[in-house]
Amino acid sequence: MREGDKPTVISKQALQRLPYYIRFLRGLKEQGMRIIAAPAVAAQLGLNEVQVRKDLAAMSNSHGKPKAGFIIAELIENMEEALGYNNSDDAVLVGVGSLGRALLGYGGFAECGLNMVAAFDADPALTGGRICGKPVFPMSKLNDICSRMNIHIGVITVPAAAAQAVCDELVKAGVLAIWNFAPTHLTVPPDILVQSENMAASLALLSNHLRQRLREENL
Amino acid sequence: MREGDKPTVISKQALQRLPYYIRFLRGLKEQGMRIIAAPAVAAQLGLNEVQVRKDLAAMSNSHGKPKAGFIIAELIENMEEALGYNNSDDAVLVGVGSLGRALLGYGGFAECGLNMVAAFDADPALTGGRICGKPVFPMSKLNDICSRMNIHIGVITVPAAAAQAVCDELVKAGVLAIWNFAPTHLTVPPDILVQSENMAASLALLSNHLRQRLREENL
DNA sequence: TAGATTGTTAATCGATTAACAATC
DNA sequence: TAGATTGTTAATCGATTAACAATC
């Protein structure tokens, strides 16, 4: 990894592990620790040692010290920079049903670099006011507000049937990445990213495991 | 796939695609369609044709007809059975904060085979009543209720700091699978499944994509 | 020095995609 | 029959894990 060559490619999987590392390392730092070795991280997070070694090596600007490990504060800094936790991305949320409200009220996004600035809803009864401190606008304002505020992330928490239409509007308004909580596939232009939060998929894994466990017991 | 040999192993990835197939196929059925071919499914869901062909072949009890396709109703039935959508699993939820409430109120779990029967919280001010029709009990009742009702799935929506303790209690109470919404790693015995709903990980992918897109524009 | 840990190359694994014969 | 679609074997790909030399 050459100096100044920041755009090192990080694999999708590794990228998803970063938040776990960051959270764990922050905890260590608060406890006053200064140095940590990869095997200790692996043990705590239930990961393979080689994987952690590779991840840390890829993320850290400086090298780890054999027999000692990595400087915690530096690791945190490098990882946070890689994820852009420092400069938050502004986002809008569409659909202030129960899930939408829960997300608007969740304080944890700030420390993950996400800043919800406004919400939208098709129901006039829900717009005009504020929810959890965020203004709620009618859908007709979406394009105008997103363009003017230069919003790049859209969060979709509408019913499945409405999701594709909302998605199209967000893309038209200049959004580049979509966080989709509606249980449906969204079609977008090739340069737009859709990240679907996939509750039904998770449930599929859960109940499949359960069925196998219970079947085993019955043998 | 021999007849009666139901426990065919389905890959984790394929399992997660099933809910999408089911949703899409149900839509077709409602429109009155009777038969669908793999390439059409692939195009609609943005998947590879071979992948869909394999998935459908693996799920369908009967063979697809060359030149025609598969019988929609049968596919739906076979997939729903594979995921156990027919006989719901009972679950309890721990932590009735904003996210916990949103999940309790979400009606969509029923059709995914999940049935939330009760909630728990450490805060006495929140217990004793009902939220979205579900009774909310104090933590002290958790073991008793879970064992008596033979609960196998626990949903964790408490803050990260409390999650491991809650997880331990759920496992002690006989839960076999855990759906974790707290942003932290949970350590469990080897035969227990933890499925973490990984918002920070999703955000990592989103903001990474965004940064690359914006970097490209600046070149 | 001895031993734990790092960094890296090679082997393995799981899943996706390509190629193609079989079928209606 | 001709052509679209299925089912399956082989090739490819990405990521994980194993093996091992380099380092403090």
- In the predicted model, what is the mean pLDDT of chain A? 93
What is the model's pLDDT at position A216?
80
Burial of A81 (0-12, 13-18, 19+ CB in 10 A): middle
Tell me the average pLDDT across A137-155: 98
In this complex, the answer to whether residue B75 has its CB under 7 A from any atom of chain D, a nucleic strand, is no
Exposed, middle or buried: residue B183 (CB in 10 Å: 0-12, 13-18, 19+)? buried
How many CB atoms are closer than 10 A to CB A193? 19
Burial A83-99 (b: 16+ CB within 10 A, else e): bbbeebbebbbbbbbbb
pLDDT in tens, A115-129: 999 999 999 999 999
* Positions on chain C within 7 A of a protein C-beta: 3-9, 14-19, 22-24
Of A7, A210, A215, the CB nearest to B89: A210
For tokens 């059925």, the residue is B29
CB contact under 8 A, A108 and B12: no
Give Cα separations from A72 to A32, A166, B183 (angstroms).
10, 42, 20
CB A127 within 8 A of CB A121: yes
Q: What would the mean pLDDT of A140-149 be, rounded to a whole number?
A: 98
Q: Which contiguous run of DSSP H or E holds residue B145? A: helix B142-149
Count CB-CB contacts under 10 A for residue B134.
18
Q: Residues of chain B whose pLDDT is less than 70?
A: 1-8
In tens, the pLDDT along A5-64 reads 444 678 999 999 999 999 999 999 999 999 999 999 999 999 999 999 999 999 999 999
**Rounded mean pLDDT, A189-200:** 93
**Which residues 108-167 of A have a C-beta within 8 angstroms of B?**
108-109, 112-114, 152-153, 160
| Residue range B149-167, pLDDT digits in tens | 999 999 999 999 999 999 9
Question: Does the beta carbon of B86 lie under 8 angstroms from any beta carbon of chain A?
Answer: no
Per-residue confidence (pLDDT) for residue A5, from 0 to 100: 41
Is A173 a residue whose pLDDT tops 50?
yes
Average pLDDT (A154-183) is 97
Question: Pick from B18, B152, B201: which is nearest to A16 by CB?
Answer: B201
The tokens for A164 are: 């594709």
pLDDT of residue A107: 86
Q: How far apart are CA A181 and CA A169, in angstroms?
A: 16
Residues whose CB is less than 8 angstroms from the CB of residue B67 and which lie 6 or more positions away in sequence, other chains included: none
Contact state of B208 with A83 under an 8 Å Cβ cutoff: yes
What pLDDT shows up at residue A194? 97
**Burial environment of residue A208 by CB neighbours within 10 A (0 to 12, 13 to 18, 19 or more):** buried
Return the minimum-mean-pLDDT range out of A80-89, A136-145, B22-31, B114-123: A80-89
Read off the pLDDT band of A108 (50, 70, 90): confident
User: What pLDDT, on a 0 to 100 scale, did the predictor assign at position A101?
Assistant: 94
* CA torsion through residues A116, A120, A124, A125, sign: negative
Q: Which domains does chain B have, with CATH numbers?
A: 12-82 (1.10.10.10), 89-201 (3.40.50.720)
Residue listed under structure tokens 């071919």: B37
Kindly determine whether residue B160 and residue A207, on different chains, have CB atoms separated by under 8 Å. Answer: no
- pTM (2 d.p.): 0.92
- Looking at residue A133, its pLDDT comes to 96
pLDDT for A8 equals 65
Neighbours of B26 (CB within 10 A): 16
Q: How far is the CA of B28 from the C1' of C22 (A)?
A: 29
